Structure 1
Amino acid sequence: MATWDDVRRIMAALPATTERAPREWRARDKNLAWERPLRKGDLAALGDDAPSGDILGVRVEDVGVAEALVADDPAVYFTTPHFAGYPAVLVRLEVIEPDELHELLRDAWLARAPKRVVKEFLEGQGLAGGEGTGLR
């Protein structure tokens, strides 16, 4: 089970990332992750499948990635009509494992952070060229 402290720790380790507001993280001016309580319309759309607990919204590389995550593990990832056609997923924070959360947030950062910052970070990690990151 992951916590907001896990999210905060992971995001703090990524260059050029700030917690702009409580539980809202950005890479420079690009949204990465945010607390996303379910709204009235979300609850109506999800019905009995509406989860309780803390919900994290995470920007992903594209809509295909969002759809794949939801299809692959609907116990962890879900979406609402509000996010239809938008490259983001909603995450049940109390269900996702910390290692999986780390990978999800790092991938969000890799897709959204400034290219120069990403390149410098990867080089510092010994991953020049994007090996092991899904980026090339």
Structure 2
Amino acid sequence: MSADRPAQVEDVHELARAMPHVTVVPGTAGNIVYQVGGRSFVFFRTPRPDAVDETGARLPDVIVFWVESEADKLALVQDATTPFFTTPHFDGHPSVLVRASRLGEVPRQELAELVQDAWLAQASPRRRAAWLAEHGTGSRP
């Protein structure tokens, strides 16, 4: 399986579960939430009134990924070539949104980095340091 192929929803699940100390928590509507140390880092969002299509229908397939900083968020959502977006509900929140139906616009390797960065943004300093040391870097990528 090539890391360069387009990402799929199944990859989100595989990559999130592959990170250490991950728990899968059911959301209030049965949606899947991935957590590290009780802190969400990736979750499948239920349809909400702040994320709608051009007809005003609520988007049923939004995935939320934590990011390290506002600069990281802006780099993703301001690049018109990516499917990442945000809504006013997430103003000031360190996360980006993407529709599952648009994941194929992202290479799997980029999705892997996004999931890893989301985990790193939410993991405890001890867990973050251990993961970074194991993966050959002493600081955040």
Please indicate, yes or no, whether the TM-score normalized by the shorter chain is above 0.5.
yes
Question: Which residue in the other structure is 1:3 paired with?
Answer: 8
Which runs of 5 or more residues in structure 2 are unaligned? 1-5
1:1-23 CA-partner distances (Å, limit 9, x unpaired): 42332111111221111111252
1:39-118 map, 5 Å: 39-43=48-52, 47=54, 54-73=61-80, 75-93=82-100, 94=103, 95-118=105-128
Structure 1, unaligned runs of 5 or more = none
Contact 1:42 1:81 in 2 (8 A): no
* Alignment CA distance shift 1:20-1:53 (3 Å): closer
CA separation of 1:78/1:85 partners in 2, compared to 1, >3 Å: closer, same or farther?
A: same
Q: Confirm whether residue 31 of structure 1 aligns to residue 40 of structure 2.
A: yes
User: Kindly tell me: are residues 48 and 103 of structure 1, through their superposed partners in 2, closer, same or farther at Cα, counting changes over 3 Å?
Assistant: farther
Question: RMSD across aligned C-alpha pairs, in angstroms?
Answer: 2.5
Amino acid at match of 1:76: P
3-state SS of 2:72 partner: helix
The 10-residue stretch of structure 1 (93-102 or 110-119) with the greater mean CA deviation from structure 2: 93-102
Deviations 1:74-105 (A, max 9, x none): 54100111111211110133332211111111
Q: Distance in 2 between matches of 1:111 and 1:31?
A: 10
Question: For 1:116, what is the secondary structure of its paired residue?
Answer: helix
Q: 1:80 to 1:38 in 2, by over 3 A?
A: farther
Q: Which residue of 1 aligns with 2:129?
A: 119
Q: TM-score when scaled to structure 1?
A: 0.79
Q: Percent identity among equivalent residues?
A: 33
**Cα 1:112/1:33, change in 2 over 3 Å:** same
Q: TM-score, normalised by structure 2?
A: 0.77
The number of aligned residues is 129
* Counterpart code for 1:40: P
Of residues 24, 32, 35, the one that matches 1:19 is 24
Cα displacement (A) at 1:126 = 2.5
